[in-house]
Structure 1
Amino acid sequence: MDEIDELRRMRTALAREESPDRLALRTDWRRSGVAPRPRRGFKVPVVSMISAAALVAGAVVVISVNSSPAPDGSRPVRPEKSRGPLEPGNALLVAATNVEKGATGKYWHTTRITGEIYAVGKTAADHYKLESRMQYDEWTDSSGKQCINPDDLPARPWTALDEQKWEKAGAPTTVEFPIPEGTGVLFLKPTRTGGPCRVVGERRFLGMTVKQLAALPTRPEQLEKALLNIKGNWEAVSSKPGERPIRALKGDKRVRALSDAAGTLLGVAPAPPEVRAAAFRMLATLPGVKAEGETTDPLGRRGTVISLPVETTVPLGLYTAPKQLGTYRRQWIIDPGKGTLLAVRDLVATPPHGSRELPPGDDGKPRRLTVDTQPDRFHKPGEVADYEVYAKAEWSDAAPN
């Protein structure tokens, strides 16, 4: 047996057996003193987009755990500070211990906000960036029946500098910009407000019912084996797109797919606390996962950055072909003390370049993807592309509105 694999198994086994206080001391996890990195963005994972296609484009959800005492009266793990190196497994294992204390209820209620950053302007010198946002409130009951209340939030300048440039341009409340399909429009004033919750029927997560989610293994190595059977469009660019199981992937591609599945369990699915804890512990054992200090998420909440060892184009998702010409680096932002996944984001690794042939449109004419239609065409490496932030997720006995 590989020695590193054995050490990983020992680490996760210890995390299951130790008390929260001993875990905090042994892992030596603490909030890093590293200066915060800039805010980043997120490309919606293929698993989430596939499962949401029947609801609303790109619908996915979130988790949030408060810092009050757990049902058993215990307090969240508060790891001591240390001057040693920050280990990703430490933060992830502490998060697992804290999320495991969570209670359950009649409804799984989530609020998430998706954002994409669009460049407005014809050149890199004169452009400014606007943030397009959608909010989704979702309730799922124990049978899997779900209702959803989407709300189109007004767009807004991304940074203070972008706001200055937008004001210099006359502070327009309607802005047009190029997209692969033609011309897109952003509205900087509310266009509508969310109505009553709309019932959409039974929801499946990673192809599983709520009852099947509840039956998932609670040991990380067994959970990984179960997730390897999940099918999806895991290739971002492929001459033969189609669903295949995660176990058919190798190396970084497998890590990316497993992390997408873990993110769904932590953010989207009404998985039991023990399963969410196993998802954190599984991620801690994956090769190439690393911590990169602290940052703030798009809601201003501080958390620990967990980076995944993948530079890739964005998965197919709802489209028949990728709509991106750049590559992106996936990161999670977690709050270990609350056992919470705060956000997922993709940083631009390689800005859009080149072109790609697209399938013919409805008119049968050939199409080609070009840089001038890319929302991040003026982005620099490390800047945000888009994100998904998890504002709320909680078990509740209150019925949806």
Structure 2
Amino acid sequence: MNPIDELRAARPAHLGDTPVDESTRAAELSYAMSRPRPVRRKRRIVRPVWSLSLVGAAAATAVAVMVSGTGGTTVPETPATITSPTPKVKLSAREILLTAAAKAARQPAGTGAYWHTVSVQRTLFAVEGADYRVMDRQREEGWTPNATRGDQWGSIKPLGARPATAADEEAWKQAGSPAKIPVKVPGKPLPMTLKTFPRKAYTGHSPLVDGEVFWLGRNVTMKDLRGLPTDPAKLKAWLLSSYEGHSPGSNSDPMPADPWLFNVSVGLIIDMPVTPQVRGAAFRMLADLDTVDVIENVTDAEGRQGTAVAVKEHTKYSGVVETRLIFNQATGRGLANESVLVKPEGVQSAFEPGTVWSSQAVLEAGWTDRKPSS
């Protein structure tokens, strides 16, 4: 498990992936980085999911960067664009995924002392006692050592909450533009207070335990990741050997094999230090799933255009949810992971269908020799 997952897993279960106040965060970081690595749970946030029309939530376009092993060059991740004046032949979902697999497998492997990731998490909340919504944001950064021994590092920087849409902003202004906003949190009887201004980053580090650095249906080491099969059928069998019929985060929440496989394997494409050949195999594996859909021309929270591969599932607390993996079709590189409410129920019944409830936008994922600092 990487440091960011470790920090997240240390948070009390009733809080999910929602933000907490600064003094609590500092205590959590100190505790999380000093304890053995727990099993990663599936992220049940309110997910990284806002409306696709949530214009207020899209930040200025960011670039995804692959850092070279020497810490030198960076390669901007540019969105795919269509410039041909001639009619374009529409590809099937399988053809799109197989094309992405070929592009992903040709990406440079890279090497370095640390696997470095940077992402921005966004979560949508309804405001307590008011008729508007806010989007809370935080920047997460992690460094996982390539060696079997060494310290893993993690950092979380709260970026502040803001109204989700122009209409929400107007309602917020009518309420006096409060800097602290009480919001409803599923599973909690009392509201939680979000702040509209950014705060300092909280950073922690700890030694690796048994070499386990990530969660892929079970705790895995760098050696495990390097040894993953490059054949899609064998990769699927390897992953499903950990499947027990329920959600990765709950023994009481049943989940069919295809959605489970999709949720577990997203990291292979978006932010895990696997070889380009394994990343390509993950795309080919998804191409063989009957329940997977492909959605073209999707814009992520950072304003980057891509293609989404998606799977729907009926969840215990939120109704029908669609999990989307957005990728750059021109390069086969992952951009973002989103949860969309298709048929909101239970704790999410106040949101409209199509709401992107939470998201994780990956800004950087690659090897570097640059050592993190506290």
Whether 1:93 and 2:86 are equivalent positions in the alignment is no
CA pair 103-327 structure 1, distance change in 2 beyond 3 A: same
Whether 1:132 and 2:143 are equivalent positions in the alignment is no
Partner SS, residue 165 of structure 1: helix
Unaligned runs of 5+ in 1: 1-47, 243-248, 314-321, 354-373
Whether 1:341 and 2:334 are equivalent positions in the alignment is yes
Amino acid of the structure 2 residue aligned with 1:161:
A
Q: Note the C-alpha offset of 1:296.
A: 0.8
Whether 1:155 and 2:188 are equivalent positions in the alignment is no
> Which residue matches 1:278?
281
2:314 corresponds to which of 312, 315, 322: 312
Tell whether the 8 Å contact from 2:7 to 2:154 is kept in structure 1 after alignment.
no
Partner SS, residue 345 of structure 2: coil
Cα offsets for 1:235-281 (capped at 9, x unmatched): 3898x639xxxxxx9xx821111111211222342212211111111
CA pair 335-149 structure 1, distance change in 2 beyond 3 A: same
Cα offsets for 1:63-119 (capped at 9, x unmatched): 946699xx9xxxx99998753333222332232222222232222110112211001
Partner SS, residue 208 of structure 1: strand
For residues 196 and 261 of structure 1, what CA distance do their matches in structure 2 show?
26
Cα offsets for 1:131-154 (capped at 9, x unmatched): 112221001121355211111221
1:113 corresponds to which of 107, 120, 126: 120
Q: Note the C-alpha offset of 1:217.
A: 0.4
1:183 corresponds to which of 166, 191, 194: 191
CA pair 121-377 structure 1, distance change in 2 beyond 3 A: farther
Unaligned runs of 5+ in 2: 18-39, 49-62
Whether 1:332 and 2:325 are equivalent positions in the alignment is yes
Whether 1:397 and 2:369 are equivalent positions in the alignment is yes
Q: How does 1:155-234 map to 2 (within 5 A)?
A: 155-179=161-185, 180-181=187-188, 182-190=190-198, 192-196=199-203, 198-199=205-206, 201-202=208-209, 203-206=213-216, 207-231=219-243, 234=246
What is the TM-score with the length of structure 1 in the denominator? 0.66
For residues 7 and 177 of structure 2, what CA distance do their matches in structure 1 show?
38
The root-mean-square deviation of aligned C-alpha atoms, in Å, is 3.5
For residues 88 and 173 of structure 1, what CA distance do their matches in structure 2 show?
45
For residues 155 and 245 of structure 2, what CA distance do their matches in structure 1 show?
27
For residues 318 and 281 of structure 2, what CA distance do their matches in structure 1 show?
35
Q: Note the C-alpha offset of 1:171.
A: 0.8
Q: Note the C-alpha offset of 1:185.
A: 0.9
Amino acid of the structure 2 residue aligned with 1:219:
D
Q: Note the C-alpha offset of 1:395.
A: 1.5
Bigger-Rg structure (1/2)? 1
What is the TM-score with the length of structure 2 in the denominator? 0.71
Instruction: Give the count of matched residue pairs.
Output: 303
Amino acid of the structure 2 residue aligned with 1:224:
K
2:262 corresponds to which of 259, 262, 267: 259
Partner SS, residue 152 of structure 2: strand
Tell whether the 8 Å contact from 1:197 to 1:400 is kept in structure 2 after alignment.
no
